[in-house]
Amino acid sequence: MSLFAKPRKKSAKAALTEAAQNKITQAKAVQSSPVAKNTALPEDALLEGAVVEGALQDQALEGIAILRLSHEGRGVGRDAEGKTVFVEGALPDERVTYKVRFTRSRYDEAVLDKVLHASPQRQAPSCEHYAVCGGCNLQHLNPTAQVAFKQALVAEMLHYPEENFQPALLSEPLGYRRKARLGVKWRKDGRLLLGFREKSSAFITAINHCPVLSPKLQPLLPALHKFLPRLEVKKHLGHIELVEAENQVGVLVRLLRPLDRLTKNDQRFWRDWAKEQSVNLLLQDDEGLHSLTPEAAAEPTPFTYQLNDLTLAFTNNDFVQVNAQMNQQMVKQALNWLQLQ
């Protein structure tokens, strides 16, 4: 049975082919006028409708005007037929060509092909992996515009006028993230993939540099890339967490097998590497957390950070604000507003 409700006898593959051909033909027609910015685009209503997933179209569709950003940061426009298109990587006030990735009965999901007319708010991404890596999604938008977009989004969701907002708290746009989880996968050819998930995918982007990580965490990426291939048992690794606390830098390795399945050599490799990198290494299996350091206490030393005169402890499983500078600013502002005596 077709994924489309109508016509009943048409296969999903045939429907996708026909839809793509119709779109390419229609896109060649000159659009009579751009759609007004305040035209309603009810995203929630668009969730209805079947989807046909296929390979990314090789042929880019002719330019459309981008009207605004969706809640998740994709550019929103309409094609020549009036169908809504969500274009990843596009910005408001731009005219772009795009390639459809998924087509649904009421809207298409696409990726940016070329920017024909760029927004003045567009900037070059800070990271070489940005086009593929799913760790960040708005690096092509300048930081001031990012804050304005997020504030407008909150105002819309809360039905609260923006003019009543307090000035936004700001921090450095890079080098702030003190906690991260990295996926680990070994290709059939033996090559290591270590990094974050790709955009809209379960695949892992192989990265050896991440400018968003804090300065103390950044060197651990190339160090892990160099070290992990030395292990004798590689496929026991699930993911690796990096944590920067005020009292230590931690590396937590999630094992897919019990700790005692690690070879003696691998245990020695991990100990030596942790000492070389000056990090607290913790290995986690289904039984809990383990340290390979002989002098370690029965319970691993907790991570801590300071807020005013309070020292707060947390584990790798606890939520903490990944931006330490912003966390301090938020607490300070809240205390000022409360005027506690």
Give the chain's domains with CATH numbers.
12-117 (2.40.50.140), 179-324 (2.40.50.1070)
Is it the case that residue 288 has pLDDT exceeding 90?
Answer: no
Q: Which residue has the higher pLDDT, 41 or 57?
A: 57
Do 230 and 267 contact (CB within 8 A), yes or no? no
Mean local confidence (pLDDT), 261-272: 94
Amino acid of residue 142: N
Angle at 175 between CA 172 and CA 181, to 5 degrees: 130
Q: What is the C-alpha separation between 259 and 274, in angstroms, rounded?
A: 17
At 46 the pLDDT is 42
- pTM value? 0.78
Higher pLDDT, 82 or 308: 82
pLDDT of residue 7: 35
Give the pLDDT confidence score for residue 39 in this predicted structure.
35
The residues, any chain, with a CB within 8 Å of residue 178's CB and separated by 6 or more, are: 214, 217, 243, 244, 245, 320, 322, 323, 324
Here the tokens at position 44 are: 């929630």
25 sits in which H/E element: helix 12-27
Confidence at residue 154, expressed as pLDDT on a 0 to 100 scale: 94
pLDDT in tens, 166-221: 999 999 999 999 999 999 999 999 899 999 999 878 899 999 999 999 999 999 99
Which residues, listed in sequence order, are joined to residue 100 by a DSSP beta bridge? 110
Helix (H/G/I), strand (E/B), else coil: 229: helix
Q: Is residue 256 scored above 80 in pLDDT?
A: yes
Name the pLDDT band for 129 (thresholds 50, 70, 90).
very high
Q: Look at 39-48, 112-121, 154-163 and tell me which has the smallest mean pLDDT.
A: 39-48
Q: What is the tens place of the pLDDT at every residue in 62-90?
A: 799 999 999 999 999 999 999 999 999 99
Edge-first strand order for the sheet with 280-285 is 192-195, 179-186, 237-244, 249-255, 280-285, 288-290
